[in-house]
Amino acid sequence: MVVPVFNSYRSLPELAERVAQALTPVTRAYELVFVDDGSRDTSWDVIMKLAREDRRVHGLVLSRNFGQHNALLAGIRAANYEIVVTMDDDLQHRPEEIPRLLAELTQDVDLVYGTPVEEEHGFWRSFCSRSVKAALATSLGASNARSISAFRAFRTSLRDGFMTDDAFPSIDVLLSWTTTRTTQIGVEMDDRKYGRSHYNFRRLVRHSLNMVTGYSTGPLRLVTLVGFAFAFFGLGLFLFVIVRWFIFGSTVAGFTFLAAIISSFSGAQMLAIGILGEYVGRIHFRSMRRPMFLVRTTTDEQELNNPTDETA
Protein backbone atom coordinates (compact mmCIF):
# COMPACT_ATOMS: atom_id res chain seq x y z
CA MET A 1 0.00 0.00 0.00
CA VAL A 2 1.21 3.49 -0.85
CA VAL A 3 -0.14 6.57 0.95
CA PRO A 4 1.12 10.10 0.15
CA VAL A 5 1.27 12.19 3.31
CA PHE A 6 1.15 15.95 3.77
CA ASN A 7 0.55 17.49 7.19
CA SER A 8 -1.59 14.56 8.37
CA TYR A 9 0.05 13.43 11.61
CA ARG A 10 -3.30 13.07 13.38
CA SER A 11 -4.83 10.59 10.93
CA LEU A 12 -1.84 8.29 10.37
CA PRO A 13 -2.09 6.09 13.51
CA GLU A 14 -5.78 5.36 12.90
CA LEU A 15 -5.12 4.75 9.21
CA ALA A 16 -2.33 2.24 9.95
CA GLU A 17 -4.49 0.44 12.52
CA ARG A 18 -7.50 0.19 10.22
CA VAL A 19 -5.34 -1.02 7.31
CA ALA A 20 -3.93 -3.78 9.53
CA GLN A 21 -7.42 -4.80 10.65
CA ALA A 22 -8.66 -4.87 7.05
CA LEU A 23 -5.74 -6.79 5.53
CA THR A 24 -4.80 -9.24 8.29
CA PRO A 25 -7.79 -11.55 7.58
CA VAL A 26 -6.83 -11.50 3.89
CA THR A 27 -3.03 -11.70 4.07
CA ARG A 28 -0.25 -10.96 6.53
CA ALA A 29 2.24 -10.35 3.71
CA TYR A 30 1.77 -6.69 3.02
CA GLU A 31 3.56 -3.40 3.51
CA LEU A 32 2.27 0.07 4.22
CA VAL A 33 4.45 2.74 2.59
CA PHE A 34 3.92 6.31 3.77
CA VAL A 35 5.50 8.97 1.54
CA ASP A 36 5.95 12.23 3.43
CA ASP A 37 5.69 14.91 0.76
CA GLY A 38 7.53 17.67 2.60
CA SER A 39 5.15 17.97 5.55
CA ARG A 40 5.63 20.93 7.87
CA ASP A 41 4.20 19.20 10.93
CA THR A 42 5.26 16.08 12.85
CA SER A 43 4.03 13.60 10.23
CA TRP A 44 7.51 12.11 9.75
CA ASP A 45 7.95 11.54 13.50
CA VAL A 46 4.62 9.70 13.55
CA ILE A 47 5.66 7.59 10.55
CA MET A 48 8.94 6.69 12.28
CA LYS A 49 7.05 5.68 15.42
CA LEU A 50 4.64 3.51 13.43
CA ALA A 51 7.55 1.87 11.59
CA ARG A 52 9.24 0.99 14.87
CA GLU A 53 6.04 -0.54 16.21
CA ASP A 54 5.17 -2.52 13.04
CA ARG A 55 7.78 -3.82 10.60
CA ARG A 56 5.19 -3.81 7.86
CA VAL A 57 5.14 -0.01 7.96
CA HIS A 58 7.76 1.83 5.93
CA GLY A 59 8.26 5.49 5.20
CA LEU A 60 9.96 7.79 2.73
CA VAL A 61 10.39 11.51 3.25
CA LEU A 62 10.94 13.72 0.21
CA SER A 63 13.34 16.65 0.24
CA ARG A 64 10.49 19.09 -0.38
CA ASN A 65 6.85 19.17 -1.43
CA PHE A 66 6.71 17.73 -4.97
CA GLY A 67 2.98 17.08 -5.25
CA GLN A 68 0.62 14.18 -4.68
CA HIS A 69 1.29 12.28 -7.90
CA ASN A 70 5.06 12.68 -7.56
CA ALA A 71 4.89 11.31 -4.03
CA LEU A 72 2.74 8.43 -5.26
CA LEU A 73 5.28 7.65 -7.96
CA ALA A 74 8.07 7.55 -5.37
CA GLY A 75 6.10 5.09 -3.26
CA ILE A 76 5.09 2.95 -6.22
CA ARG A 77 8.70 2.59 -7.31
CA ALA A 78 9.61 1.51 -3.79
CA ALA A 79 6.84 -1.13 -3.55
CA ASN A 80 7.95 -4.74 -3.06
CA TYR A 81 4.78 -6.77 -3.51
CA GLU A 82 2.86 -7.86 -6.62
CA ILE A 83 -0.10 -5.52 -6.04
CA VAL A 84 -0.12 -1.83 -5.16
CA VAL A 85 -3.04 -0.12 -3.44
CA THR A 86 -3.08 3.68 -3.23
CA MET A 87 -5.27 5.82 -1.05
CA ASP A 88 -5.35 9.27 0.57
CA ASP A 89 -4.14 10.04 4.07
CA ASP A 90 -7.25 11.85 5.28
CA LEU A 91 -9.39 8.79 6.13
CA GLN A 92 -11.98 9.63 3.49
CA HIS A 93 -11.08 6.37 1.76
CA ARG A 94 -12.15 3.50 3.97
CA PRO A 95 -9.41 0.87 4.49
CA GLU A 96 -12.20 -1.66 5.05
CA GLU A 97 -12.92 -1.43 1.29
CA ILE A 98 -9.43 -2.62 0.31
CA PRO A 99 -10.33 -6.36 0.26
CA ARG A 100 -13.11 -5.54 -2.22
CA LEU A 101 -10.59 -3.88 -4.54
CA LEU A 102 -8.23 -6.84 -4.29
CA ALA A 103 -11.05 -9.29 -5.03
CA GLU A 104 -11.69 -7.55 -8.36
CA LEU A 105 -8.09 -8.08 -9.55
CA THR A 106 -8.82 -11.24 -11.50
CA GLN A 107 -6.77 -12.66 -14.38
CA ASP A 108 -8.61 -10.37 -16.79
CA VAL A 109 -8.20 -7.20 -14.70
CA ASP A 110 -4.99 -5.25 -13.99
CA LEU A 111 -6.44 -2.08 -12.45
CA VAL A 112 -9.40 -1.47 -10.15
CA TYR A 113 -10.72 1.95 -9.15
CA GLY A 114 -12.76 2.55 -6.04
CA THR A 115 -15.15 5.19 -7.36
CA PRO A 116 -17.06 7.23 -4.75
CA VAL A 117 -20.78 6.53 -4.76
CA GLU A 118 -21.25 10.15 -3.74
CA GLU A 119 -18.65 12.91 -3.98
CA GLU A 120 -17.59 14.25 -0.58
CA HIS A 121 -15.57 17.18 -1.92
CA GLY A 122 -16.59 20.80 -2.25
CA PHE A 123 -18.22 22.26 -5.33
CA TRP A 124 -15.05 23.51 -7.05
CA ARG A 125 -13.03 20.34 -6.47
CA SER A 126 -15.87 18.14 -7.65
CA PHE A 127 -16.44 20.37 -10.69
CA CYS A 128 -12.74 20.38 -11.66
CA SER A 129 -12.51 16.64 -11.05
CA ARG A 130 -15.44 15.93 -13.37
CA SER A 131 -14.05 18.35 -15.97
CA VAL A 132 -10.61 16.72 -15.98
CA LYS A 133 -12.14 13.25 -16.25
CA ALA A 134 -14.31 14.34 -19.17
CA ALA A 135 -11.30 15.92 -20.88
CA LEU A 136 -9.23 12.78 -20.40
CA ALA A 137 -12.02 10.59 -21.72
CA THR A 138 -12.23 12.74 -24.86
CA SER A 139 -8.61 13.68 -25.54
CA LEU A 140 -6.90 10.46 -24.45
CA GLY A 141 -9.60 8.09 -25.54
CA ALA A 142 -9.50 6.53 -22.09
CA SER A 143 -12.85 4.87 -21.65
CA ASN A 144 -12.35 4.52 -17.88
CA ALA A 145 -11.37 8.16 -17.34
CA ARG A 146 -14.69 9.08 -15.74
CA SER A 147 -14.17 6.45 -13.03
CA ILE A 148 -10.61 7.34 -12.00
CA SER A 149 -9.99 7.83 -8.31
CA ALA A 150 -7.07 8.13 -5.90
CA PHE A 151 -8.36 4.90 -4.32
CA ARG A 152 -7.01 2.23 -6.67
CA ALA A 153 -5.42 -1.20 -6.81
CA PHE A 154 -3.22 -2.40 -9.66
CA ARG A 155 -0.52 -4.90 -10.50
CA THR A 156 2.95 -3.64 -9.63
CA SER A 157 4.28 -4.80 -12.99
CA LEU A 158 2.47 -1.86 -14.60
CA ARG A 159 5.08 0.49 -13.17
CA ASP A 160 7.53 -0.78 -15.78
CA GLY A 161 5.69 1.52 -18.17
CA PHE A 162 6.18 4.54 -15.90
CA MET A 163 9.50 5.52 -17.46
CA THR A 164 9.03 9.27 -17.67
CA ASP A 165 11.00 12.39 -16.83
CA ASP A 166 7.97 14.66 -16.61
CA ALA A 167 8.14 16.83 -13.50
CA PHE A 168 4.32 16.81 -13.41
CA PRO A 169 3.38 13.13 -13.77
CA SER A 170 -0.17 11.81 -13.61
CA ILE A 171 -0.49 8.29 -12.23
CA ASP A 172 -3.87 7.73 -13.88
CA VAL A 173 -2.59 8.73 -17.32
CA LEU A 174 0.47 6.51 -16.91
CA LEU A 175 -1.78 3.63 -15.92
CA SER A 176 -3.98 4.24 -18.96
CA TRP A 177 -0.86 3.88 -21.11
CA THR A 178 0.06 0.51 -19.62
CA THR A 179 -3.27 -1.33 -19.51
CA THR A 180 -6.84 -1.25 -20.73
CA ARG A 181 -7.97 -4.11 -18.52
CA THR A 182 -9.62 -2.00 -15.87
CA THR A 183 -12.77 -2.04 -13.83
CA GLN A 184 -14.39 -0.08 -11.03
CA ILE A 185 -16.47 -0.64 -7.94
CA GLY A 186 -18.57 1.84 -6.01
CA VAL A 187 -17.25 2.67 -2.54
CA GLU A 188 -18.57 4.79 0.29
CA MET A 189 -16.44 7.71 1.42
CA ASP A 190 -16.27 9.27 4.86
CA ASP A 191 -16.09 12.94 5.69
CA ARG A 192 -12.62 14.36 6.19
CA LYS A 193 -11.86 13.79 9.86
CA TYR A 194 -8.99 16.22 10.40
CA GLY A 195 -8.07 19.53 8.82
CA ARG A 196 -9.13 20.59 5.35
CA SER A 197 -8.12 19.81 1.80
CA HIS A 198 -4.90 21.39 0.54
CA TYR A 199 -6.36 21.67 -2.97
CA ASN A 200 -7.43 25.26 -3.49
CA PHE A 201 -8.96 26.62 -6.69
CA ARG A 202 -5.58 27.66 -8.14
CA ARG A 203 -4.08 24.21 -7.60
CA LEU A 204 -7.12 22.55 -9.09
CA VAL A 205 -6.90 24.68 -12.25
CA ARG A 206 -3.15 24.06 -12.53
CA HIS A 207 -3.64 20.32 -12.11
CA SER A 208 -6.37 20.36 -14.76
CA LEU A 209 -4.10 22.17 -17.24
CA ASN A 210 -1.22 19.78 -16.51
CA MET A 211 -3.45 16.78 -17.11
CA VAL A 212 -4.94 18.03 -20.36
CA THR A 213 -1.89 19.70 -21.97
CA GLY A 214 0.69 17.28 -20.60
CA TYR A 215 -0.66 14.07 -22.05
CA SER A 216 -2.79 14.99 -25.04
CA THR A 217 -2.75 16.97 -28.27
CA GLY A 218 -6.48 17.61 -27.92
CA PRO A 219 -6.10 21.32 -27.11
CA LEU A 220 -3.91 21.78 -30.21
CA ARG A 221 -6.63 20.19 -32.30
CA LEU A 222 -9.09 22.57 -30.66
CA VAL A 223 -6.93 25.51 -31.77
CA THR A 224 -6.97 24.14 -35.31
CA LEU A 225 -10.75 23.82 -35.28
CA VAL A 226 -11.14 27.32 -33.87
CA GLY A 227 -8.83 28.60 -36.61
CA PHE A 228 -10.89 26.92 -39.31
CA ALA A 229 -14.11 28.20 -37.76
CA PHE A 230 -12.94 31.80 -37.71
CA ALA A 231 -11.44 31.47 -41.19
CA PHE A 232 -14.85 30.43 -42.54
CA PHE A 233 -16.48 33.14 -40.46
CA GLY A 234 -14.11 35.72 -41.94
CA LEU A 235 -14.76 34.44 -45.45
CA GLY A 236 -18.51 34.61 -44.90
CA LEU A 237 -18.19 38.12 -43.53
CA PHE A 238 -16.10 39.17 -46.53
CA LEU A 239 -18.72 37.79 -48.92
CA PHE A 240 -21.44 39.57 -46.97
CA VAL A 241 -19.62 42.89 -47.30
CA ILE A 242 -18.99 42.37 -51.05
CA VAL A 243 -22.61 41.40 -51.74
CA ARG A 244 -23.88 44.36 -49.70
CA TRP A 245 -21.58 46.69 -51.65
CA PHE A 246 -22.85 45.38 -55.00
CA ILE A 247 -26.53 45.55 -53.95
CA PHE A 248 -26.65 48.70 -51.85
CA GLY A 249 -23.50 50.42 -53.02
CA SER A 250 -22.13 50.76 -49.48
CA THR A 251 -20.16 48.76 -46.92
CA VAL A 252 -21.26 47.82 -43.43
CA ALA A 253 -20.94 50.87 -41.20
CA GLY A 254 -20.70 51.21 -37.47
CA PHE A 255 -18.05 51.15 -34.77
CA THR A 256 -19.93 48.50 -32.79
CA PHE A 257 -19.81 46.01 -35.67
CA LEU A 258 -16.08 46.62 -36.21
CA ALA A 259 -15.24 46.39 -32.50
CA ALA A 260 -17.16 43.11 -32.14
CA ILE A 261 -15.30 41.54 -35.09
CA ILE A 262 -11.90 42.68 -33.82
CA SER A 263 -12.68 41.39 -30.31
CA SER A 264 -13.75 37.99 -31.66
CA PHE A 265 -10.62 37.49 -33.73
CA SER A 266 -8.38 38.85 -30.97
CA GLY A 267 -9.94 36.46 -28.46
CA ALA A 268 -9.37 33.50 -30.77
CA GLN A 269 -5.74 34.52 -31.27
CA MET A 270 -5.10 34.90 -27.53
CA LEU A 271 -6.69 31.51 -26.89
CA ALA A 272 -4.40 29.92 -29.46
CA ILE A 273 -1.34 31.68 -28.06
CA GLY A 274 -2.25 30.62 -24.53
CA ILE A 275 -2.64 26.95 -25.45
CA LEU A 276 0.58 26.96 -27.46
CA GLY A 277 2.28 28.66 -24.51
CA GLU A 278 1.22 25.81 -22.22
CA TYR A 279 2.86 23.28 -24.52
CA VAL A 280 6.01 25.38 -24.93
CA GLY A 281 6.18 25.76 -21.15
CA ARG A 282 6.03 22.00 -20.65
CA ILE A 283 8.81 21.53 -23.21
CA HIS A 284 10.83 24.13 -21.31
CA PHE A 285 10.33 22.39 -17.97
CA ARG A 286 11.29 19.03 -19.46
CA SER A 287 14.42 20.53 -20.99
CA MET A 288 15.46 21.70 -17.49
CA ARG A 289 15.13 18.05 -16.33
CA ARG A 290 13.59 18.98 -13.01
CA PRO A 291 13.44 15.92 -10.71
CA MET A 292 10.09 14.27 -10.21
CA PHE A 293 11.00 13.62 -6.59
CA LEU A 294 14.04 13.28 -4.35
CA VAL A 295 13.98 10.97 -1.34
CA ARG A 296 15.80 12.54 1.59
CA THR A 297 15.71 9.47 3.81
CA THR A 298 13.63 6.40 4.66
CA THR A 299 12.56 4.72 7.87
CA ASP A 300 14.86 1.80 7.08
CA GLU A 301 17.85 4.13 6.80
CA GLN A 302 16.89 5.85 10.03
CA GLU A 303 16.75 2.50 11.80
CA LEU A 304 20.23 1.65 10.54
CA ASN A 305 21.65 5.00 11.61
CA ASN A 306 19.84 5.03 14.97
CA PRO A 307 19.40 1.37 16.06
CA THR A 308 17.29 0.60 19.10
CA ASP A 309 18.55 -1.47 21.99
CA GLU A 310 16.86 -4.56 20.54
CA THR A 311 18.62 -4.30 17.20
CA ALA A 312 21.98 -2.91 18.35
pLDDT at residue 230, as a whole number: 81
Share of the chain above pLDDT 70, in %: 78
Q: Residue 58 contacts by C-beta under 8 Å, 6 or more apart in sequence?
A: 31, 32, 33, 34, 51, 78, 298, 299, 300
pLDDT at residue 154, as a whole number: 96
Q: Residue 69 contacts by C-beta under 8 Å, 6 or more apart in sequence?
A: 168, 169, 170, 171
Where along the chain do its domains lie?
Answer: 2-200+292-305, 218-288
**CATH assignment of 2-200+292-305, given 3.40.50.720, 3.90.550.10, 2.60.120.1060, 1.10.3680.10?**
3.90.550.10
Confidence of residue 310 (pLDDT cuts 50, 70, 90): very low
Residue 143 has pLDDT above 60, yes or no: no
Residue 17 has pLDDT above 60, yes or no: yes
Q: Residue 160 contacts by C-beta under 8 Å, 6 or more apart in sequence?
A: 178
Residue 3, phi then psi, degrees to nearest 5: -130, 115
| Strand ranges in the chain using DSSP code E only, listed in sequence order | 2-5, 32-36, 57-62, 83-86, 111-116, 152-155, 182-187, 295-298
pLDDT in tens, 67-116: 899 999 999 999 999 999 999 999 999 999 999 999 999 989 999 999 88
Integer Cα distance of 6 and 35 in angstroms:
9
Are 123 and 159 spatial neighbours (Cβ–Cβ below 8 Å)? no
Are 79 and 33 spatial neighbours (Cβ–Cβ below 8 Å)? yes
Greater confidence (13 vs 231) lies with: 13
Integer Cα distance of 63 and 73 in angstroms:
15
Q: Residue 274 contacts by C-beta under 8 Å, 6 or more apart in sequence?
A: none
Model-level pTM?
0.76
